Amino acid sequence: MVAMSARPANGFRAYAANLRRFSRNARLYLVHIVGMDVIHGTWEVIFNLYLLELGFSIEFIGVRLAIMGVARVVAAVPAGWLSDRIGRKWGFILGDGGGAVLAVIQILSANPAVLLVGAAFQSSFGVLHHVTESPFMAENSEPEERIHLFSVGSGIRTLAAMAGALIAGLFPAWIAGVFDLPKVEAFRWATLIGAAGWFLSLIPAVMLRPYLSAEVAAAMNGPPPPRRGVLRGIRNPVVMRKFVTVAALLALGSGLTLSLANVYFQEGVQAGEAEIGVTFAAGSLALAVASFAAPFVETRFGRIKSVVVTRAAAIPFIVVIALAPSLATPTAVVSLAGAAFVLRTTLFNMAGPVYEAFSMEMLHPGERATFTGITSLIGGALAGAGGWMGAQAMGRGDFATPWLGMALLYAVSTWLFWRFFRPRGAAPPAIA
């Protein structure tokens, strides 16, 4: 018993030691994440509800999601190229600053053209941030500490999103009651508060300094890229195709539902803004705890099994979300759907930091930004298509089919990940 109790202590001491090793840039980036993701959490809860309150249809929301997907396709590879040219620091600043400005413009508008064009530009700026983030974290950490940086980054990100979701769920009702404001105006004020945090997050981003890890330095001194042009950095096309295939299926599945999750809760199970905000916040809190625990999960199962086990365990809860209206009474359906949503979020994303670190390590430093650009291109197209299809189904009152489609696509993606990257001769991991 003594020996068994000593092992976790050693694990926690090793965990803390790796946190202390984070570079100055890594720590500044973690601070940057806080402000950046408060607005993300606010936006995820509020904006579709804002559109519905203005009188726009669910189908209009689907068109907007499809336009965002097209914008991601157009911007994806150029964003990776731009990130390599201007550096990760200015990629953050341009991507996040532009996204914040466009969020403010859209929340202050009821003009359909502004809402659609603004969505396209906001998506393009978001791609620039996305293709910058993972390569930056990989370049500012050595292989032995990388999983901890990805883990802590994911945990802080979700805690910030939780704060944003609580602001979105609770603040509009409070300010509407105190100042006798219509709901649309309350939504606007909540978003503007979140946007203020987004702008403040640019301060630590400006303070980042150029840094070259030993791994990246060694790669730069290696042989030149084998290709020319925008895709010249690709050195491992087979490995990249495998990762892109896995990510593409996830993007299509996520597109069917996640951008419409607030619509599902309001229209499908009749939840209010406060209940939606608390549900999203609870999912973020649970995911934050899971993200901080990712290094322990990776130690227990290994990188490949961690991803497969946690993703597979989430799929039954996606099915529960789909069937919740028929499984529970009207008074209990919100609780059932909300609990399943939280568990899906937690389990599926628990090994997210492990997956990100694994994918970055499997790729050459010179192709990481290109990989994230290609993933954004294909994923953006499929997520946009999925969003349009999901909105069409929900607009007809069919709230189950998009979630069931998501469950199927997630299952295929998880199986392919195991098939592509499993150790030779290994049996599929048991889900217990």
For the chain, what is the mean pLDDT?
80
Question: Has residue 79 been placed in a domain?
Answer: yes
0.75 exceeded by pTM = no
Reported confidence tier of residue 257, pLDDT bands at 50, 70, 90 = very high
> Is 415 a residue whose pLDDT tops 60?
yes
In the chain, the percentage of residues whose pLDDT exceeds 70 is 84
Closest to 25 in 3D by CA, of 100, 113, 133:
133
Does residue 13 lie within any of the structural domains? Answer: no
Evaluate whether 290 touches 348 at the Cβ level (below 8 Å). Answer: no
Q: What is the CATH number of the domain that holds 409?
A: 1.20.1250.20
Can you read off the two tokens belonging to residue 412? 């295929």
26-40, 180-194, 226-240, 271-285, range with the lowest pLDDT? 226-240
Whether the CB-CB separation of 57 and 387 falls below 8 Å is answered with no
Structure tokens at 8: 């976790």
Tens-place pLDDT, residues 7-57 = 334 466 766 676 677 778 778 888 888 877 777 777 877 888 889 888 888
What pLDDT was estimated at residue 216? 60
Does 226 fall in a domain?
no
- Tally of structural domains, the chain: 1
CA distance 29 to 140: 10
Residue 222 falls within a domain, yes or no? no
In a domain, 99, yes or no: yes
CA distances from 369 to 77, 135, 364 (A): 9, 6, 10
Q: How far is C-alpha 71 from the chain's CA centre?
A: 17
Q: Which range, of 152-161, 334-343, 353-362, 421-430, averages the lowest pLDDT?
A: 421-430
Containing structural domain, residue 267: 20-208+235-421
In a domain, 49, yes or no: yes
